[in-house]
Structure 1
Amino acid sequence: MSQKGKLYLIPTTLGDNEPLEVLPLSVKKVVESLDYFIVENQKTARRFIKRITPKKSQPSLVLRSIDKYAEALEVSTYLDVCEQGISVGLLSEAGVPAIADPGAEVVKLAHEKNIQVVPLVGPSSIVLAMMASGMNGQSFTFNGYLPIDSSVRKKTIKQLEKLSLDKNQSQIFIETPYRNEKMLTDLKSTLAPTTRLCIATDITLSSEYIKTLTINDWKNENPNLHKRPTIFIIHKS
């Protein structure tokens, strides 16, 4: 019986920088060795593969999508090739696969099929922001996106602030980039003056901006966050 193929979790860049500036050589070597990939967006995946392995044959690539249009039944067959000894690469749109990313369902499937999962080292905006925040790295929670409705969002912000105080736990969340500035406005008007807020924007890019201040001090700061990928972290103590 032939050995099963593996599922490699392949990190990508967080923006338009050279892949080998932020990714180890091991990622390049794995991408070079694979022809079958599961991706969020085929166009950007092909661009990334070409940038990290310029000599790789593009026509030989087989890309399967896990975007919002992909049918669950179809996705459930994506790892069938592993039974033939073919290894598969899972690519995120940005950063690491399966963290705030639909690739988690593919990883779950791999475990169910007894396929070896191999995570590769790469940039996670969530972890990098936490590292740079000066907040409690011993206990933190990623909360994903907060509610869109303003009144519900403000209520959620207060709940996270209380949770932070009760558990001494940093609370991390994100927002759709074009709504970042509205989020900052709500944070300034909702959180207590002494609560600390870290804003981490364009992480790993030349335009990177990371700052932690109290809400009272943030009221004098208005960074341009419009359409820039941003991580927010709050901690009340």
Structure 2
Amino acid sequence: MKKGRLYLIPNSLDFGVEGAAVDLQAVLPLQVIQTAARLEHWAAENAKTTRALLKRVDAICPLAQPLQSLQVKELPRPPKGRAVDLVNQNQAWNALLAPALAGHDMGLNSEAGLPAVADPGALLVAAAHEADIEVVPMSGPSALLMALSASGLNGQSFAFVGYLPVEAPARTARIRELEALSVRQQQTQLMIETPYRNSALLHALLSSLKPQTRLSISCGLSLEQGWTRSATVAEWRSSGESMPDKIPAVFALLG
């Protein structure tokens, strides 16, 4: 039996931002919308988010089946406070691919942006390759790459380092480690934070980085109120810039 394909369907970047819904056709190519409309089997970081996306898709291109009839299964999450059972965990990832193994095309969707980039869906993509299922990435917004391109920092060498430690001493040590690495390799370092801690991260960066280090922040990308600012740490300190606590942001530094 011919296997189905796993389509990596991007999401918009407005999830969870009140009153900030964007025109889906402004951020997703028509081919992506049409592909999403025909898929009946989905793996999702968050089923509610994926169904919300499909409702918006349906308004542009009618779904192949009613929304409530679509199969949307969430990615497995490791149990909190317990060791991960790798056997059961792997079985759970592989079980999500059952539709593709049965010959059906299926979609993978993230809460925001590109699936499998700074996203747990990467493990499903890896399982698909192990099962010899064709993986088809599709174009859409990526906050990390959009922030990098808008930053004016080094786009030839860069690294995404995810979240920094929450505890102040460990966070300061990590920031200084990343700054030293950036200086040695002339490599842009990209990071994110939970929106309500945006201000705390900005304060930590301005307190820990050297004055001449360049810092770029992109906030609410693709949204009407979105912005990017790049300046030296000294310039950031003198500007007194504040950060919103409900809008996602990407931080980038270059020593």
Unaligned runs of 5+ in 1: none
Does the CA-based 8 Å contact 1:136-1:169 persist in structure 2? yes
Match of 1:63 in 2: 72
- Which of 22, 33, 37 is the matching residue for 2:38? 33
Does the CA-based 8 Å contact 1:31-1:53 persist in structure 2? no
Q: Report how far residue 74 of structure 1 moved.
A: 2.5
Does residue 114 in structure 1 map to residue 139 in structure 2? no
Does the CA-based 8 Å contact 2:93-2:127 persist in structure 1? no
Match of 1:135 in 2: 153
Deviations 1:44-102 (A, max 9, x none): 21111010123321132000101537872333211122122101100000000000101
Identity fraction in percent: 40
C-alpha separation in 2, matches of 1:110 and 1:74: 13
Deviations 1:102-146 (A, max 9, x none): 100100000000000000000000000000000111000000011
Match of 2:199 in 1: 181
Match of 2:82 in 1: none
Match of 2:242 in 1: 223
C-alpha separation in 2, matches of 1:43 and 1:69: 19
Match of 1:4 in 2: 3
C-alpha separation in 1, matches of 2:211 and 2:241: 16
Deviations 1:142-192 (A, max 9, x none): 000111111000000001000010001000011111111000001111000
- Which of 87, 90, 102 is the matching residue for 2:108? 90
Instruction: Give the structure-1-normalised TM-score.
Output: 0.96
Does the CA-based 8 Å contact 1:34-1:89 persist in structure 2? yes
Moved more, 46-55 or 84-93: 46-55
Residue identity opposite 2:114 in structure 1: V
C-alpha separation in 2, matches of 1:18 and 1:106: 29
Q: Report how far residue 221 of structure 1 moved.
A: 2.9
Instruction: Give the structure-2-normalised TM-score.
Output: 0.89
Deviations 1:19-68 (A, max 9, x none): 11111001111112210000111112111101012332113200010153
Query: CA 1:69–1:164 in structure 2 vs 1: closer, same or farther (change >3 Å)?
Result: closer
Does the CA-based 8 Å contact 2:193-2:249 persist in structure 1? yes
SS in 2 for 1:53: helix
C-alpha separation in 2, matches of 1:22 and 1:203: 11
Does the CA-based 8 Å contact 2:188-2:253 persist in structure 1? yes
C-alpha separation in 1, matches of 2:208 and 2:164: 14
Q: Report how far residue 208 of structure 1 moved.
A: 0.3
Residue identity opposite 1:4 in structure 2: K
Does the CA-based 8 Å contact 1:41-1:67 persist in structure 2? no
